[in-house]
Amino acid sequence: MVEGIGDRFQGETKYIRDKLPAGYLDWRKKPGPYKVYLEAPKVKLPAPAGSGGMPVWEAVGRRRSVRDFRNTPVRAEDLSQLLWASQGVTKFMGEYALRSAPSAGALYPVETYLSVHMVEGIEPGIFHYGVREHELELLRPGDFRSAVAEAGLDQGFLAEAAVVFAWTAVFARSKWKYKERAYRYVYLDAGHIAQNVALAAVAMGLGSCQVAALYDDEVNAILGVDGKEESIIYMTALGRP
């Protein structure tokens, strides 16, 4: 089999004993842990619940990929809970705002965006999740169902979902510490986040389907990111099954 770029990536980012990358961390150049769209209109989310709900083992056992959604909105309370499960702040510790999903070095390179289609009390549009204040930042108002489905490899269920989560990576946050190895950690971080959302959805009687088959630059254009310094890596469709 001919060696491809994926094979080279796996080989060239290995850690080998006594041959770990050398250097020091320049703390003056450490990127910030999250984006803030200062000029964007803000939507304050209801406070998420911190207790109760379905037992975790039951949620794990019930998790399935769902691609058929009812034409029914989800509640703003549900969306708030899902966002908190994805990357919500669970504890402030010094300069760190620790999140609900693990991240290599607590660097949190993944940003959460939403294409809101049917959420009670929230107009449709493209939003960014403001982690620190647990709020939504409106980037583009309007109906993006068809555009998101087309960008998601023409998978129609993305248009039928009540909301689509879109996760991007700000690569510099991880590369500051981990260099080329950072790319491995970025994708692992996204997997942790998506699984949290999948299990939270089950616990609330909702369904989700994780999507990695997508036209990268088309999704990037919808979100307004450059595809280089920050790029889409994963999505999740969510709604009422």
**How does residue 77 score in pLDDT terms, banded at 50, 70 and 90?**
very high
Q: Which two tokens stand for residue 97?
A: 């705002």
Q: Which two tokens stand for residue 86?
A: 């994805």
CATH code assigned to 30-239: 3.40.109.10
Q: Report how far apart, in Å, the C-alpha atoms of 129 and of each of 136, 138, 157 are.
A: 5, 9, 23
**How does residue 22 score in pLDDT terms, banded at 50, 70 and 90?**
confident
Q: In the beta sheet, which residues pair with residue 211?
A: 235
Longest CA pairwise span in the chain (Å): 57
Q: Which two tokens stand for residue 74?
A: 């989800």
Specify burial of residue 35 (Cβ count, 10 A radius: 0-12, 13-18, 19+): middle
Q: Alpha-carbon distance 215 to 200, whole Å?
A: 27
* Least confident stretch, 6-10, 116-120, 196-200: 6-10
Domains of the chain, by residue range, sit at 30-239
Q: Which two tokens stand for residue 141?
A: 């108002």
pLDDT tens by residue, 127-155:
999 999 999 999 999 999 999 999 999 99
Q: Which two tokens stand for residue 239?
A: 């709604």
Confirm if 222 and 142 have CB atoms less than 8 A apart.
Answer: no
